[in-house]
Structure 1
Amino acid sequence: MHDSRSEPFQNHSSWYQANQDALMGALARVQAKLQAKVNGENPPEAPDRTLSPPSSLEQLCHLFGLSPFERDLLLLCAGMELDASFPALCAAAQGDSSKNYPTFSLALATLSQPQWNALTPDAPLRRWRMIEIGAGTVLTLSPLRIDERILHYLTGLQYLDERLKGVVEPFSVDSELVPSHQQLAQHLAAAWLQAFGKTPLPIVQLCGDRRSSKRAIAAALCQQVGLNLHILHAQALPTPSSELHPLLQLWAREAVLSHSALLLDCDATEDVTRNGAIALILERLHSPLIVSSRDRLQISLRPQIAADVRQPTPNEQRLLWQTALGDSATPLNGQVDLLVSHFNLNSPAIQAVCTEAFAQLENPRTEDSLSKLLWDTCCKQARPHLDDLSQRIEPGATWEDLVLPDTQRQILRDISAHIRQRAKVYEYWGFAKKGDRGLGISALFAGPSGTGKTMAAEVLAQELRLDLYRIDLSSVVSKYIGETEKNLRHVFDAAESGGAILLFDEADALFGKRSDVKDSHDRYANMEVSYLLQRMESYRGLAILTTNLKTSIDQAFLRRLRFVVQFPFPDASQRAEIWQRILPKQMPTEALDFKKLAKLNVAGGNIRNIAMNAAFLAADANESVTMKHLLRAAQSEYIKLERPLTDAEVKGWV
C-alpha cells in the first residue's frame, strides 16, 4: 500500500526548492505555448523537468491519471495564480481583452494533444474537483479556475482542505500498544496489504466498547501500511445528501493527496437519522476506511475485515501498572494485583489514574497513601458513564448496622471474600484458564420490602471500597424488541472498567416463571433474561439482583446465580435490635422501651421511617424523642402501608 511517489516531501528544503523550479519550468512551457498562439507560431515542445523523488506535479498526474492535455490545462489555470503575465496572454490569445482568463476553448486551441472529453464530469479534472467552472452561457467559453487545495499541493504544501476542517481531523497516537493489540494491528495490516489493489478495498471494522484502544489500533494499522490517519465523527455527518456527497468527494480526493485512511467513529452515535449517511459512506467511499463501532455494522456491498477489540489482558494491565508507577510499584506490596483484579483499564486510563494519584500525593494537605489514592481514582473511572444510566448510592451502612441471622451474614461475608480473592483464584490458581464463563460474581437478594437488601449491598460496597449503583430494572425493560438488551449492555459496558457493584432492583420486572413460547414476545422475554444472566456471569465486578418474591423466579435461572440470600422478615428480638441500632447515639431520647417498640410488626425499612419521622416531630417541639413521638410516627407509617395499627402493638406506649 506504500507508494513513495505520494510521500509528503515538503519538509525537505532541497526537494521543496527543486519542486518550485520544476513547477516554474512547467509553467514556462505552457506560457510559451500561449505566446506562440499570440504570435501565430507553432508551439514549442519541451519535456517537463523530472525529479527524484517526483515533483508534486508528477505525483498529481500519477495519482489521478492525468493525460498530458489535462496536465497542461491544469497548469494553464495554475499560471493565472502564480504568474502575473498569464492574464494578458490569455486575453491576447483569445483576441478579446475582456477574456483575461483560461477557457476550455483556449486550451483546445493552444495546448498539445487536445481532448474534448477532458472537461466531462467523469474526467479527472472535474471528477476530483481540480478545476472550477465559472459562470457563463457556453461551457467552452466559461472561466476556469484551479482549486485552492490543488494549487497549494503543486507548490509542495500539504494541509487539510479547509472545507473538511471541523468534520475531519488528523489523528495519531504516540503511546505503544500492548502486545495483544499490537498483534491485532499487525494481523489487520497484513490483511489490508494483501487486498491492496483490489476495488474496493475491504473495510476494517473495529468493534467493542474500548474506544481509545480501537483508535490506537487504527493508528498502528495505518502506520504499518504507510498511511496517515484522519478521524470523522459520525455525529458530525450532514444528513442531507446534497451536503454529504460533496463531503465524500472532497475526502476521497484528500485521501489520495495526503495518502490517508479515514477512521469513521460511530461509537457515540445513537441518532438514527445518521444511519443513512453512515450507510452511504460504507457503500460509496472506496478509499481506505476503518470503522469504529460498538457492534458490527451490516455491510452488504463491500468486503470487510472485522475484529473485536478487548481490554488488555490481566498480565498486560499488570505490566502497564508497573510501568506507569515506576519505582513506586515495589513498595505497594501486591496492590497492583488487586487493582488488576478489580478494575479493567487500558493504557491511557492507567496513565491517567497514576498521574492523578501522584498529583494528589504531592499535595501537602493530602494524607492518603498512594495505595488508597490509586484505588479511589480507579473507582472514579466509570462514574461519568454510569451516572447517566443509574443512581449512585453513597454507602454508609456497616456490618454493625445490619441485623440478619448468622446464616445470611455468613453468605454476605462469603460474597465479600470472593470479590477480594478473585485474582488469586482466577489468575494464580488457574480457574480463568478454564474459560470466562461463570467467573462473574452474581447474587440474588430475596425478601420482603424493607428487610435490608439494599443495606446489605451498601455494607459490601463499604467494606470493599467500591462504588454502588442502583439500576431500576422496571425502567430498563422495554416493550420494544431488542431495546432491553441494548439498555443492559450500556450499563454493563459503562461499569466494566470501574469495578462497581451493580444493584438491579425490581428483578421481578424481568424475571418470572419461564414462560412457554407461544409468540415472539415470549421468546424475546426469555432472551432478555438470558442476556442479563450472561452479562452477570462475565461481569468482572459484583452484580446483585433484588426481588420481593423469590418464588417468582424460575429455578433454571436461579442455578446460574452464584449466591442466593434470603432476607427474612425480622422477628421480635431482631426488631428490638434494629430499633437500638437505628437511633443515632447523639439524638436525645427519653424513656424509650425497645421491647415495646419491637411489637410493631414492621420491617427494618419501616422502622427507619418511623424513627426519622419521630425525630422531626420531637425536634419541631424542641423535645427529646419519646414514645409519644414514635407513636404518632407509627400511626402515619401504618396509614401509608394501609394497615391498621392494633392495640397489641402499641399497648402501654404512652
Structure 2
Amino acid sequence: MTTATTSAAWCDANQAYLVAEFSRLKLRLGAEHDERLVAARVEAAHAALPAPAAIDTLTELFGLSAFERDLLLMVAGVEMDAELGRVCAAALGQSQAPRPQATFGLALAALDHSHWSALAAMGPLRRWRLLEVDDSAGLVNGRLRIDERVLHYLAGVNYLDPRLHPLLSPLPAPEIMAEKHRHVCRSVLERLRERASSYPVVLLSGDDVDGQADVAAAVAAHLHVQLYCVQADDLPGHSTEADAFAILWQREAALLGAVLLIHCHDGASSKAVVHLAERGSSPLFIAGRDVPSYKRATIRYAVNKPDGAEQRQLWEQVLGPATMRMSGTVDGVASQFSLSAKAIMTAGAGLRDVAESGSEADSALWNACRSVSRSRLEDLAQRLDPVSGWNDLVLPEAQQRTLRQIAAHAKHRLMVYQQWGFAGKGMRGLGISALFAGESGTGKTMAAEVLANELHLDLYRIDLSGVVSKYIGETERNLRRVFDAAETSGAMLLFDEADALFGKRSEVRDSHDRYANIEVSYLLQRMEAYRGLAILTTNMKAALDVAFSRRLSFVVQFPFPDQQQRESIWRRIFPAAAPVEQLDYAKLARLSMSGGNIRSIALNAAFLAADEGAAVGMKHLLQAAHTEAAKRERPLSDAETRGWV
C-alpha cells in the first residue's frame, strides 16, 4: 500500500535511473556500449535515489520477476527513449518502420532470465493490465503496448486513472467525529492490523451515511492512504465491465496507496460490489443502512447518527466558547435534529462569529440546521411555510393546553430522556405522535403550523392518499422513504387523509388484508421511533381503530366552532393592512362555517372590494358567503345572513 515519493529530488533521481536502465537494455539488445560503464551508471543512479524508484516499487507491488521487470522497461523505453526504439527496430529488422515496437519474441531472445509465462493471461503483466499484446501477429511477434497510466507512473507522475475519475470521489479525513465513531475507528484499525496479510471487508451499517464515510476516511488517514468513495449504483453491471473495474481499482489501490468505500443505498449488492468484495485483497469498506454479508472474511460495525448528547458535544467543538451563550438553543437543536458530524460541521460554518457577536445567533443556528437537513424531503413531501401563531388559533382551552403539552415534549426531550434518564427505561414510545381529528377547516393544519413556528421546525405535508398503493408492499416502501429522509431534518410531518390508511383494520381474509395490517403496524412503529413530531389528521375519528389511537402520544379533537368562537375568528381574520368598513362581527358569527370557510369568504370578499376600489364591507362578505355556500352545496339560511346589508 506504499507509493513512490514525488518530491522534486526524487523525480529527478527517478528519471536519471530510468535513463541508466534504458542504457542497460540497449546493451542487451546489441547496441555498442561499454558494459562496465553502463553498469556503473546504473549503480550510481540507484544509489542517488532518496526513495525506491517507481519501477522497483511497481515490481514489488505486483510481484514481477526480473525478466518481467525488464520486459516492462523495454516496452516503456520504446515510448520514452528514441534511441532504444531504434535499437529495437534494428534488432527486429524493421529499421525503416515508421514507429518502432517491442515484441515478446525480442525480449525472449535478448533479455536475461526469460520465461514464457511472463505473458500468461493470469501473469501480473497482463492480469493487472500493465502490458497489452496486439495478437494479430501472434503472441511472440505482436506489438507490446504499455498502459499509459503505468507509463506515467514509471516516469514519476502518479494520478488516479482517468477511466475511474467519473466514478470515484476522494474523501478527506473528518475534522470532527462523534466519540462512538472514534471507537469504531480504533476497533477497525486493530482488526486490520491483526489480519494485514489478508484484509477483511469492513461492513458499516446503520443510518449515518456521513458517519460511515467519516469512519472509513479516518481509518484510511491512520493507514496513510487516500480514501475514494463510489456509489454502488454507479458501478458497471455487466460481468465483463465489473471485472475490468475491479482490476483497474485494485491496480490503482496499489499504485496510489488507496482504499475504496462503496455506498449501497438499498442494501442490494451489484455484481461489481460482489466481485470486489469476494475477489479483491486490498482493504475495502462497504456501507449502507443494511449491508449484506459476503463470502470473503468480513468485520461488521454499526454506525448510526449521534444521539442528542453526542450532538451537543459536536456543537461545542464547532462553536467553541460561544456554545455557553446559546446553551438552550444548542440543547434544542441537539434534541430536535438528527444530524451527522459532517452536517453539524457544515451547519456551524460561519456561526461561531455570529454567536460571539450575539446578533440573532439562536435563529441563525436553527435556520442553519433546517437548511442542511432539507434536501432529501423536498422530493417526497410538500414543505409548508408556517405563518400562524398562538394568537391566530381559536380553540377551546382544553385543546390549547394539549397543543402546548406537545410543544413542551418536543422542546425538552433531550433533558427528560437523556439527562433525566427516561430513555434508559426503554426506547419504545420515545417519538412524539399526535392525531388531529375534526371536520375540514376546523384548524388542524393551522395548529400544526403553530407548533412548527413555536419549535422553529420545518413542516412537511404528506398526503397519505397518495402514499397508499394498491400494490402489495409498495405503501410500506413509500413510508420508509419518507421517514428515512425525515430522520435527519427533525421536521414535523403532517400526514393528511389518515383515513386512507387507518380505517378499521380488517380481519385477515386475503393477502391484501394481511399486508394492509402490516403497513399500519409499520407506520405506527416508525412514528414511535421518529425523533421529530409526526401528526396525523382525519375527518372521521370514529372510523379509526381504538388500538391505533392507544399507540399515539396525543389525540386532539378539533370541534366545529360555536358562535362565540366564530366571532373570535372573524375578528382575527383580516390582516392589519386590509381596509375594512363597518363590519358587524356578531352578525358574521351567525354564519355556520368553519374557520377554513371563514378564511375563504374573507379572502374572496377582499378581492371583490379591491375590484371596486373600496374597503371590505358587509355586502362584499355577503356575496362571498353565498359563493362559498354554493361551493359546499349548502344554501345559506335567512337567519344566518339577516341584517348583513
TM-score, L = length of structure 1: 0.88
| Aligned partners of 2:70 and 2:111 also within 8 Å | yes
The match for 1:65 is 63
| Aligned partners of 1:392 and 1:467 also within 8 Å | yes
The match for 2:26 is 31
Deviation at 1:455? 0.9
Q: CA 1:605–1:106 in structure 2 vs 1: closer, same or farther (change >3 Å)?
A: same
Larger mean Cα displacement after TM superposition, 151-160 or 636-645: 151-160
The match for 1:11 is 7
Query: 5 Å matches for 1:216-227?
Result: 216-227=214-225
Deviations 1:634-653 (A, max 9, x none): 22212211223333433444
Query: 5 Å matches for 1:111-260?
Result: 111-134=111-134, 136-198=136-198, 201-239=199-237, 243-260=241-258
Deviation at 1:557? 1.6
Larger mean Cα displacement after TM superposition, 161-170 or 466-475: 161-170
Query: 5 Å matches for 1:477-516?
Result: 477-516=468-507
Amino acid across the alignment from 1:152: H
Q: CA 1:114–1:477 in structure 2 vs 1: closer, same or farther (change >3 Å)?
A: same
The match for 2:409 is 418
Amino acid across the alignment from 2:163: R
| Aligned partners of 2:4 and 2:52 also within 8 Å | no
Q: Secondary structure at the match of 1:290?
A: strand
Deviation at 1:546? 0.8
TM-score, L = length of structure 2: 0.89
1:473 aligned onto 2:464? yes
The match for 1:77 is 75
Deviation at 1:566? 0.7
Deviation at 1:174? 4.7
RMSD, aligned CA: 3.2
| Aligned partners of 1:446 and 1:550 also within 8 Å | yes
Query: 5 Å matches for 1:231-630?
Result: 231-239=229-237, 243-267=241-265, 275=270, 278=273, 281-282=276-277, 285-293=280-288, 295-358=289-352, 368-630=359-621
Q: CA 1:620–1:135 in structure 2 vs 1: closer, same or farther (change >3 Å)?
A: same
Q: CA 1:242–1:313 in structure 2 vs 1: closer, same or farther (change >3 Å)?
A: same
Q: CA 1:548–1:282 in structure 2 vs 1: closer, same or farther (change >3 Å)?
A: farther
| Aligned partners of 1:189 and 1:222 also within 8 Å | no
Q: CA 1:324–1:161 in structure 2 vs 1: closer, same or farther (change >3 Å)?
A: same
Q: CA 1:110–1:395 in structure 2 vs 1: closer, same or farther (change >3 Å)?
A: same
Partner Cα separation in structure 1 for residue 80 and residue 219 of structure 2? 39
Deviation at 1:369? 2.5
Partner Cα separation in structure 2 for residue 653 and residue 206 of structure 1? 70
Q: CA 1:485–1:233 in structure 2 vs 1: closer, same or farther (change >3 Å)?
A: same
Amino acid across the alignment from 1:340: A
Deviations 1:314-360 (A, max 9, x none): 33322222222223223335433233222333333333333333566
Deviations 1:581-618 (A, max 9, x none): 22334434444333333333222111211222122222
The match for 1:640 is 631
Partner Cα separation in structure 2 for residue 170 and residue 513 of structure 1? 52
Deviation at 1:446? 0.7
| Aligned partners of 2:246 and 2:272 also within 8 Å | no
Query: Percent same amino acid among aligned pairs?
Result: 50
Deviations 1:144-170 (A, max 9, x none): 122222223334442222332232243
| Aligned partners of 1:439 and 1:538 also within 8 Å | yes
Deviation at 1:143? 1.5
| Aligned partners of 1:282 and 1:299 also within 8 Å | no
Q: Secondary structure at the match of 1:329?
A: helix
Q: Secondary structure at the match of 2:427?
A: coil
| Aligned partners of 2:176 and 2:342 also within 8 Å | no
Deviations 1:517-561 (A, max 9, x none): 333332322222222222222222211111111122222221111
The match for 1:102 is 102
Larger mean Cα displacement after TM superposition, 545-554 or 369-378: 369-378
Q: CA 1:179–1:590 in structure 2 vs 1: closer, same or farther (change >3 Å)?
A: closer
Amino acid across the alignment from 1:114: S
Amino acid across the alignment from 1:147: D
Partner Cα separation in structure 1 for residue 277 and residue 370 of structure 2? 38
Amino acid across the alignment from 2:329: Q
Deviation at 1:90? 1.6
Runs of 4+ in 1 over 6 A off after TM superposition: 44-48
Deviation at 1:288? 2.7
The match for 1:86 is 84
Partner Cα separation in structure 1 for residue 572 and residue 287 of structure 2? 53
Partner Cα separation in structure 1 for residue 475 and residue 205 of structure 2? 20
Q: CA 1:193–1:528 in structure 2 vs 1: closer, same or farther (change >3 Å)?
A: farther
Deviation at 1:301? 4.3
Larger mean Cα displacement after TM superposition, 476-485 or 613-622: 476-485
Q: Secondary structure at the match of 2:489?
A: coil
Q: Secondary structure at the match of 2:30?
A: helix
Deviation at 1:243? 4.7
Partner Cα separation in structure 2 for residue 397 and residue 181 of structure 1? 41
Deviation at 1:418? 1.4
Q: Identify unmatched segments of 5+ residues in structure 1.
A: none
User: How many residues were matched structurally?
Assistant: 636
Partner Cα separation in structure 1 for residue 584 and residue 285 of structure 2? 72
Q: CA 1:155–1:620 in structure 2 vs 1: closer, same or farther (change >3 Å)?
A: closer
| Aligned partners of 2:326 and 2:355 also within 8 Å | no
Q: Identify unmatched segments of 5+ residues in structure 2.
A: none
| Aligned partners of 2:173 and 2:221 also within 8 Å | no
Deviation at 1:202? 3.5
Partner Cα separation in structure 1 for residue 596 and residue 608 of structure 2? 19
Amino acid across the alignment from 2:398: T
| Aligned partners of 1:69 and 1:113 also within 8 Å | yes
| Aligned partners of 1:381 and 1:497 also within 8 Å | no
Q: CA 1:501–1:169 in structure 2 vs 1: closer, same or farther (change >3 Å)?
A: closer
Larger mean Cα displacement after TM superposition, 277-286 or 250-259: 277-286
